[in-house]
């Protein structure tokens, strides 16, 4: 369903909202502002370290898609805000590293 929402307006944008918070509108655009998702991710990691796939599961009721989260996680790591441990291979959702905020 979320994939459909994000593909409906390839040339422009429209607003969507979660039913649990009708006052919170999110502008759906071809190149979205991921700042709210970035804040959502940092908030979750501030509470507890989490596996990448656990964050993907927590994202299900949100309007964001997994590729959005994956981009945010990679950017946060490049900026040195988060780190990933306890994984083998490349830093990816498939490797499922334990993510935490850096001290």
pLDDT (average), residues 55-76: 94
Q: Answer yes or no: is pLDDT of 90 > 90.
A: yes
Q: Is the pLDDT of residue 5 over 70?
A: no
User: Above 80 in pLDDT, residue 75?
Assistant: yes
> Which residue segments constitute the domains of the chain, with CATH numbers given?
31-101 (1.10.10)
- Whether the Cβ atoms of residue 89 and residue 34 lie closer than 8 Å to each other: no
Question: pLDDT by residue (tens digit) across 7-64?
Answer: 666 565 656 656 555 555 555 566 778 999 999 999 999 999 999 999 999 999 888 8
DSSP H helices in the chain: 2-7, 35-47, 52-58, 66-78
pLDDT of amino acid 102: 95
């Amino acid at each position: 369903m979320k994939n459909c929402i994000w593909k409906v307006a390839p040339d422009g944008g429209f607003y969507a909202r979660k039913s649990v918070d009708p006052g919170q509108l999110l502008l759906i655009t071809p190149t979205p502002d991921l700042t709210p998702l970035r804040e959502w991710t940092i908030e979750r990691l501030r509470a507890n370290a989490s596996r990448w796939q656990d964050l993907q599961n927590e994202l299900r009721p949100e309007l964001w898609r997994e590729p959005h989260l994956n981009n945010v996680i990679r950017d946060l790591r490049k900026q040195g805000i988060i780190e990933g441990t306890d994984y083998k291979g490349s830093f990816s959702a498939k490797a499922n590293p334990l993510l935490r905020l850096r001290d």
